[in-house]
Structure 1
């Protein structure tokens, strides 16, 4: 079997998906004490997605009682950055990213 050489597009896609998956997996436990996973799941490691509990807001959950797999502001900011990069056809500059965030959140 021949070796597959990843393209730039597949690497970008993989990193975006990995970030979203990691966010969805860990976000229900974000800012919790180290033993929160074991207390809630009975396991030391996360082996599946869990639903969110808490307050909705612009920098976290988007809806109350968000279902398992919901992304947080981390995914949202990454999405906005990638959307801008695609629109520009290049890496956005800092001021362009700031303008996009202001346009969305003001």
Structure 2
């Protein structure tokens, strides 16, 4: 039973990763944003985090990928560029900069459900 469960988890992860990398195929999940304390700290790509830039962290997408993030609750969306790895919190699919979170309208809540679509 344990082996079957491991295989199922593996195929689920592979399937999700294939979807995330395929332009035009949306993926839904939870998003959070970087706290201001990360301002000026290096990201995984080597860039320094800037809360006023439209950037994001994703676990697998290549750096410099463009992603449209949409908040279905208010229908607001923003284009962000992937420059970091994460999120590391379970069930979250993307961490966005504070500027992106402000555009998406979830700074007060800290997390929200989003749809992401790889543009490039």
TM-score for both structures, normalised by structure 1 = 0.27
> Could you say which structure has the larger radius of gyration?
1
**Greater helix content:** 1
